[in-house]
Amino acid sequence: MSLWQRCVSSGILQHGRCLRRRVWDQALVSKFTSSPPRRTQSSVAGGAERTLIAVKPDGVQRRHVGQIIQRFEQRGFKLVGLKMLQASDGLLSQHYCQLVQKPFYPNLLHYMTSGPVVAMVWEGQNVVQSSRRMVGPTNPVEAQPGTVRGDFSLHTSRNVVHASDSVEGAQREIQLWFEGKELLNWDCFDHSLTYKEDE
Ligand code: TYD
């Protein structure tokens, strides 16, 4: 039985409302402190995926990092890796290996190396597909308001953020940008409020 279900059956919560706030808070604290985060690879279970999200140099320069992180947190995804770095030509040529022959690649490389990038790994069910929808299409002109690109950008060559476009692509990109030890496996204590317990 989940913490949430236990609290409902013991009368602390009713119809999602907290009747005895202090007891609920204590229950959360006790769960959080009595079961330390697990740090095994098997924590990515139950259909959870991981994806690479990177705030590009224009997004960092324009101070959008916090707002972009907030969108993923607010949606319910879990941050398992985060770092700021100056991306090298070598890293980018691997990351954009399918684009290196494109006429726009030199400009893309110049832009992506023009300042720091904030790279993140987010985890959750269907996080790859969901985050692509949250980020919006490559060309911001086609991006809906409410998407990151639709809200913060105007031109393809300055589209603020990267999001992996497939589960396989995400695995490849995460390995490129992060070492295994930089990714943290931890349990969100509100997991049962975000997902149905048996999924
Ligand atoms: P791509 O992988 O096609 O798009 P996405 O980032 O949405 O997965 O392209 C990678 C980046 O290359 C894109 O975000 C911006 C840049 N780019 C251009 O500068 N000009 C272009 O015509 C295209 C297609 C992409």
Does residue 146 have a pLDDT over 80?
A: yes
Mean pLDDT of 142-156: 98
Expressed in angstroms and rounded, the spacing between residue 156 Cα and the centre of ligand 1 is 7
Binding residues for ATP: 56, 104, 132, 138, 149, 159
Using one digit for the tens of pLDDT, what is the confidence trace for 30-76? 544 444 444 333 336 667 999 999 999 999 999 999 999 999 999 99
Q: Ligand 1: does its nearest atom lie under 6 Å from the Cβ of 108?
A: yes
Q: Ligand 1: does its nearest atom lie under 6 Å from the Cβ of 56?
A: no
Amino acid identity of 167?
V
The alpha carbon of 193 is separated from its chain's Cα centroid by a whole number of angstroms, namely: 18
Q: What burial letters (b/e) apply to 69-82, b meaning 16+ CB within 10 Å?
A: bebbeeebbbbbbb
- Candidates 108, 110, 149, 155: which one to mutate for ligand 1, based on the most atoms within 8 Å of Cβ? 108
- Candidates 138, 147, 149, 161: which one to mutate for ligand 1, based on the most atoms within 8 Å of Cβ? 138
Task: With beta carbons less than 8 A apart as the criterion, state whether 163 and 51 touch.
Answer: yes
The alpha carbon of 120 is separated from its chain's Cα centroid by a whole number of angstroms, namely: 6
List 15, 64, 95, 162, catalytic entry: 162
95 is catalytic: no
Stated as kind and residue range, the H or E segment containing 163 is strand 161-163
Model confidence at 190, pLDDT cuts 50, 70, 90, reads confident
Of 10-14, 86-90, 157-161, the poorest mean pLDDT is in 10-14
Using one digit for the tens of pLDDT, what is the confidence trace for 115-124? 999 999 999 9
For ligand 1, atom 1, name the residue with the nearest CA.
138
Q: Ligand 1: does its nearest atom lie under 6 Å from the Cβ of 139?
A: no
The whole-chain average pLDDT of the chain stands at 85
Does residue 8 have a pLDDT over 60?
A: no
Model confidence at 7, pLDDT cuts 50, 70, 90, reads very low
pLDDT at residue 17, as a whole number: 52
